[in-house]
Amino acid sequence: MWPWLLQRVSAALLLFFLMAHLWIEHFMHLGARITYRSVLERLLHGFYVFVDAGLLAVVVFHGLNGLRTVLVENTNDPAAVRAVTTTVWVVGVATFVFGMDVLSPFLFGHPWFRL
Amino acid sequence: MGSHVVFQVMRYDPRRDVEPYWAEYDVPVDEGDTVLMGLMRIRESLDGSLAFRASCRSGICGSDGMVINGRSQLACKTQVAAMVAVRGRVVLEPLRNLRYVKDLVVDQTPFWKKFRRVEPYLMPAAAPPAAERRMTMPQDAFDLLSKASDCIFCEICYSECPINGIDRGFLGPQALIKAFRFEFDPRDDGAAARLAPLSNVEGVWGCRTVFNCTDACPKGIPITEGIQRLKRKLVAETLAGMQPAYRSPEPVEGPEVASS
Amino acid sequence: MGQGFKVRPASGLKRHPAQSLATYRTGTWAWVLHRVSGLLILAYLYFHLIVLSSDVWFKGSADFNRVVGELTAPPFLVADLLLFVVVLYHALNGIRIMLLDLGYGIRHQRQVFWGLMGVGALVMAAASVALLPRAHL
């Protein structure tokens, strides 16, 4: 039940986050030139960072939970299902850390894992 | 005063044939004939070796489900003229998602096993009433469940459901609508026993609301609607079960049950 | 016996038939397209993160501005719009799925589907009008 229910909950959250993300990135600054500086200033805004970090967490869960559903659909072997679930969780956490690293210069002033 | 219609039938006898093949029969049909009438004419006068299941000829026994011109339907409820109007002939195959036995007959064993998995019988909530009393149910509960009780076990929903096609373990629409029929019966107390088979990716969570079962059901049972109700019931019960108050319920004063 | 019929081999027939296209109705198409669009969006998510994490993102504004200039060229804007179609379909059909799960519109699932697709066409038209002029930045 939980994969099914959380897929719906994350879908509802996604509707909010994705609309905010698309609105901020594509429609709020229509016509303005996109430059390194303008994006940097945009991302320094706390609400934008909240939207992007929230979107990242929810979209990674929703996407990989969906992928897991597809992968385990025609297997009845509990061990295979467990293996897929574990793999997907590891990939998901790694993706989230990777995504936060992309955002990190704007959150902490410097990248997490970049030399 | 009839005309001749081509019946293209999938033939396969695993003991004799390497693989299935088509047989084409020129069948004399009268106006208003059903596909089942044509099949019986084939067996009576053209080819006595053709195997198919049929019994009551009036859509009650659920024996003659087969794939007619691509869709699973009851042969006794399908007009030859309607099929000819679309495709010029009648093309017959056995039901999908089940093993072939011979010609149009399939092995129903998995279907019945899955049906039994959901414990499809009433588990009374109270002690049975005295001999002269009946276990009645409220009118609104009857209205909710009466369509689901019309199931004739024809396996057409099982054959049309794409989830049954990709997941051999999925219980299928018929088992789930039968579970609905008992889970929503106010006299029933079997929720705990049915939790394991139902709250499972092979149970209700495997349903992807494709609606093929509802579209195909020859008895017009709103199958998907029942499965959706089951999902919401399981979610509500699980979330309520997480609250401590639910774990130690107050003893409820029930109506006195007469004992003989 | 045997006079009124003929027999022909049919190697295309399978012993254990899978679903054929004949079983595909509105709900089946909605399901299959939902799955395909979901996998496409997941692939795009990784593409998106990798592009953003590339050196261009962090090194020198000159590089960044050049890449942005390239990405707003017409071919990429068309790709953007195609991506938008895929995301929009997934979102609208997802809304349909959640409505069905909440118990709304089950008896009218076809109308709900096509109604939402109509909404999608309108949103798509509006988005195209808003986004395409940026090709001439």
Chain B / chain C CB contacts < 8 angstroms: 110
What is the predicted ipTM? Answer: 0.86
* Burial bucket for residue B208 (CB in 10 Å: 0-12, 13-18, 19+): buried
Q: Please indicate, yes or no, whether residues B68 and B126 belong to a single structural domain of this protein.
A: no
Residue of C64, C95, C97, C102 to mutate when probing chain A, most A C-beta within 10 A? C64
Q: Please indicate, yes or no, whether residues B141 and B229 belong to a single structural domain of this protein.
A: yes
Q: Is C5 helix (H, G, I), strand (E, B) or coil?
A: strand
The two tokens of residue B208 are: 């992807």
How far is the C-alpha of B177 from the C-alpha of B113, rounded, in Å? Answer: 15
Nearest to residue C89, comparing CAs of C46, C60, C119, C47?
A: C119
Collect all residues of chain A within an 8 Å Cβ-Cβ radius of residue C64.
Answer: 35-36, 39
Distance (Å) of CA B247 to CA A64, B86, B155, B189, C106: 34, 59, 39, 17, 33
How far is the C-alpha of A3 from the C-alpha of A11, rounded, in Å? Answer: 12
Collect all residues of chain B within an 8 Å Cβ-Cβ radius of residue A76.
Answer: 167-169, 202
What is the DSSP secondary-structure string of chain A? -HHHHHHHHHHHHHHHHHHHHHIIIIITTTTS---HHHHHHHHTSHHHHHHHHHHHHHHHHHHHHHHHHHHHTT---HHHHHHHHHHHHHHHHHHHHHHHHHHHHHHHSS-SS--
C114-121: long-range contacts, CB 8 A cutoff, minimum separation 24? C114/C26, C116/C92, C117/C92, C119/C92, C120/C88, C120/C89, C120/C92
Amino acid in the structure at residue B202: E
Per-residue model confidence as pLDDT tens digits over B8-51: 999 999 888 888 889 999 999 999 999 999 999 999 999 999 99
Q: Are B202 and A5 an interchain contact pair (Cβ–Cβ within 8 Å)? A: no
Q: Please indicate, yes or no, whether residues B68 and B86 belong to a single structural domain of this protein.
A: yes
Q: Which domain holds residue A86?
A: 2-108
How far is the C-alpha of B78 from the C-alpha of B48, rounded, in Å? Answer: 22
Q: Please indicate, yes or no, whether residues B100 and B164 belong to a single structural domain of this protein.
A: no
> What share of residues in chain B are helix, strand, coil (percent, to 5)?
40, 15, 45
Per-residue model confidence as pLDDT tens digits over C107-133: 999 999 999 999 999 999 988 887 776
Collect all residues of chain B within an 8 Å Cβ-Cβ radius of residue C2.
Answer: 47
Residue C137 binned pLDDT confidence (cut-offs 50, 70, 90): very low
> What's the DSSP call for residue B34?
B
pLDDT in the model for residue C19: 55
pLDDT in the model for residue B244: 46
Residue B158 falls within a domain, yes or no? yes
Select from B87, B106, B125 the last residue of a domain.
Answer: B106
Collect all residues of chain A within an 8 Å Cβ-Cβ radius of residue C38.
Answer: 63, 66
**B234 contact A CB<8A:** yes
Cβ proximity of B121 and B182 under 8 Å: yes
Nearest to residue A70, comparing CAs of A85, A58, A59, A56?
A: A85
pLDDT in the model for residue B8: 93
Q: What is the CATH number for B95?
A: 3.10.20.30
Residue A114 falls within a domain, yes or no? no
Nearest to residue B173, comparing CAs of B165, B183, B164, B182?
A: B164
> What's the DSSP call for residue B161?
-
Residue A51 falls within a domain, yes or no? yes
Nearest Cα of chain C lies from the Cα of A13 at a distance, in angstroms, of 11
pLDDT in the model for residue B260: 41
* Burial bucket for residue A3 (CB in 10 Å: 0-12, 13-18, 19+): middle
* Contacting partners of chain A (3+ CB pairs under 8 A): B, C
How far is the C-alpha of C108 from the C-alpha of C110, rounded, in Å? Answer: 6
Percent of chain C with pLDDT over 90: 47
pLDDT in the model for residue C14: 56
Residue that wins the pLDDT comparison between A44 and A12: A12
Select from B62, B89, B106 the last residue of a domain.
Answer: B106
Q: Please indicate, yes or no, whether residues B81 and B150 belong to a single structural domain of this protein.
A: no
Q: Please indicate, yes or no, whether residues B206 and B124 belong to a single structural domain of this protein.
A: yes
Number of structural domains in chain B: 2
Residue B252 falls within a domain, yes or no? no
CATH 1.20.1300.10 fits C27-136, yes or no: yes
Residue that wins the pLDDT comparison between C18 and C27: C27
Residue B166 falls within a domain, yes or no? yes
**Interstrand relation of B3-11 and B90-93 (parallel, antiparallel or unpaired):** parallel
Per-residue model confidence as pLDDT tens digits over B223-235: 999 999 999 999 9
Q: What is the CATH number for B135?
A: 1.10.1060.10
Contacts of residue B46, defined as CB under 8 A and 6 or more positions apart, other chains included, come to B25, B27, C1, C3, C4, C5
Q: Are A5 and B166 an interchain contact pair (Cβ–Cβ within 8 Å)? A: no
Residue that wins the pLDDT comparison between B133 and B108: B108
Residue A113 falls within a domain, yes or no? no
Residue of A nearest to C32 (CA): A70
Q: Which domain holds residue B125?
A: 109-246
Where do the structural domains in chain C lie, given as residue ranges?
27-136
Q: Please indicate, yes or no, whether residues B127 and B222 belong to a single structural domain of this protein.
A: yes
Nearest to residue C96, comparing CAs of C121, C75, C113, C115?
A: C113
Nearest Cα of chain C lies from the Cα of A79 at a distance, in angstroms, of 24
Contacts of residue A90, defined as CB under 8 A and 6 or more positions apart, other chains included, come to none
pLDDT in the model for residue A107: 65
Other Cβ atoms within 10 Å of B214 Cβ, number: 24
Residue B256 falls within a domain, yes or no? no
Percent of chain C with pLDDT over 70: 76
Q: Please indicate, yes or no, whether residues B97 and B148 belong to a single structural domain of this protein.
A: no
Question: Mean pLDDT in chain C?
Answer: 81
pTM for the model = 0.87
Residue of A nearest to B204 (CA): A1
Q: What is the CATH number for A26?
A: 1.20.1300.10
